[in-house]
A and B are shown apart, each in its own frame.
Chain A
Amino acid sequence: MRIEANAIKIKNVILVALCGLIVPISRVLDHHAASIASTAAWLTPLAAALLFVPYCFILVSITKKYPDKGLAEINKIVLGNIFGTVINVLYMTWFTLLSAYYLCKFGERMAATVFYDTDATVFVSMILILLSFALKRGQEPLLRACSIFFFAVAAVFIFSLLSVTPNIHPEYNLPIEPSLTGGVLKGGVQIFSVLTYFTTVSFFFKHVKSESLSKYLLKGGSVALLLCLLSIFVIVGLFSAPLVAEMPFPFFSAVKEISVFDSVERIEAIIICVMILSDFSIITLFMLCFGNAAKETFKLKAPVKFDLILLLVFIISLFFSSNSTKLNHISAAMIVPLNLIVGAGLPFILFMTALLCKRKKA
């Protein structure tokens, strides 16, 4: 059977989003969950699942009503030309800020863990050059490649976590007290804020074959939550919640303890290098979404050229500090609220507006 060269499948986009989600799961969420929910941190993904189900419903309802149309186009249809453009520009700002943030996070992690005494800007520049070449090839091959990366990254991620399971102290994940309920719910909101990256999937709907989004979205969300649960359970079980809350790179510290058959040790550099694929995927995903949104909003004729946009991302990344403590603070103070407002709030407003318009017409 001949496969269409330009066909994008929802499955591919979901896999790319999942591959990208491994970045916050392995670096930010365990730290946040441990500092907020303490010993009950591993329950936070379950709290996030409660929010994820209605979010899925909203996203599926929107895209079902307007098949073969991207979210940027739907915004313009439902909210009108002016408001639609404003909302699309907000989305584009979100993508730019997230790309800059993850770019900065990538550079900082490489400089602080594997290549000591090297300026983070070197790594940031290198991945930007790579992205600039990759984005010129068009979104279809890039999405397909990144969806394959997911399996490599997920395998390494799960292997790393399972390798340290013999050293886990189950008592570190206990007790679960009623007083921690507030913390668990708050941690759940933080995890949900990361799951809102699935909104990016709807920006590709103009280019994908009409398939059932709900099935893939629920599957993708479940995988992300399971990875999150595994990561938090293992890392908190390994170091205890108060220690994880103070550590800049809990996952990396856990990986350092891996010993394959008691003979091969210090394999953290290999693991960190494979995880670069995940960084590459998340920035690629945001850039492609930016391109799709820009094309729909400004009615661009030619394919979007990403060189200047990447330069803008690079300059914005300079604003974020390269210090891991400050980056975690930026994540909690700026990125989480931004994700909730733009990633979940705007689709909700769109859904409600579409619902009201439908009732008015009826």
Chain B
Amino acid sequence: MIALLICLSAFACITLKKGNKDRLFYLIITLLCIASGVCYFIIFRDINLL
């Protein structure tokens, strides 16, 4: 799961560099994936990321 989150972050960075309307939409979805993934780990897996 952590590896997946890293991959998604990398994808978000690449998308941000290219930039167009379609890519922006996918960037939002990617960021939502990352945010919900991190929330899942913090809340349900009780992992202290800090």
Contact = CB atoms under 8 A, between A and B. Distances in A.
A311 interface: yes
Nearest to A305: B26
Nearest to A309: B29
Nearest to A96: B32
Interface residues of A, number: 15
Contacts of A294: 25
Given A318-B40, A318-B44, A319-B44, A312 B22 contact: no
Interface residues of B, number: 16
Contacts of A301: 21-22
Interface in A292-324: 294, 298-302, 305, 308-309, 311-312, 315-316, 318-319
Contacts of A300: 21-22, 25
Given A315-B36, A315-B37, A308 B29 contact: yes
A132 to B, nearest CB: 14
Grouping DSSP codes into helix (H, G, I), strand (E, B) and loop, the B interface class, with mixed when no group exceeds half, is: helix
A315 B33 contact: yes
B30 interface: yes
A299 B37 contact: no
A312 B21 contact: no
Interface string B1-35: 00000001000000000000110111001101100
B32 A312 contact: yes
B41 to A, nearest CB: 10
A311 B37 CA distance: 10
A312 B32 CA distance: 7
A81 B25 CA distance: 17
Contacts of B39: 319
A316 B26 CA distance: 17
A298 B29 contact: no
Contacts of A319: 36, 39-40, 43-44
Contacts of B21: 298-301
A311 B25 contact: no
Nearest to B11: A308
A312 B36 contact: yes
Contacts of A299: 21
Nearest to A316: B36
Contact of A308 (B24, B26, B40): B26
Nearest to B24: A298
A300 B30 CA distance: 16
Given A318-B44, A319-B44, A308 B22 contact: no
The 8 closest A-B pairs by CB, nearest first: A315-B36, A308-B29, A298-B25, A312-B33, A300-B22, A315-B37, A318-B40, A311-B33
Interface of B: 8, 21-22, 24-26, 29-30, 32-33, 36-37, 39-40, 43-44
Interface of A: 294, 298-302, 305, 308-309, 311-312, 315-316, 318-319
10 contacts: A298-B25, A300-B25, A301-B22, A305-B26, A308-B26, A311-B8, A312-B33, A312-B36, A315-B40, A316-B36
